Amino acid sequence: MPHDQFRALGLPGGDELGNMFQFYTEGERDFVGARDLDLVRALNPRLKNFRTWLDEHIAEVKSA
């Protein structure tokens, strides 16, 4: 769903969420690049990428 369309849904906080999703999409390099993934993994060794998490929870996602 395009960001403008999401903001137009009239959801409480929809403008803010739409802005956040747009930043994540258009500012991915800044958003992700500011993180030290080696440090994050050291702090939380159970950290998973989205694909791994989805593979483990696919039945829950499909039923939603």
Q: pLDDT of 6-61, one tens digit each?
A: 999 999 999 999 999 999 899 888 887 878 888 999 999 999 988 999 999 999 98
Which pLDDT does position 54 carry in this prediction? 93
Say whether pLDDT at 64 is over 80: no
Go through 26-47 and write b for each residue having 16 or more CB atoms within 10 A of its CB, e for each that does not: eeeeeeeeeeeeeeeeeeeeee
Cβ-contact 24, 31 below 8 angstroms: yes
Which pLDDT does position 45 carry in this prediction? 93
Which pLDDT does position 23 carry in this prediction? 92
Q: Kindly report the pTM of this predicted structure.
A: 0.52
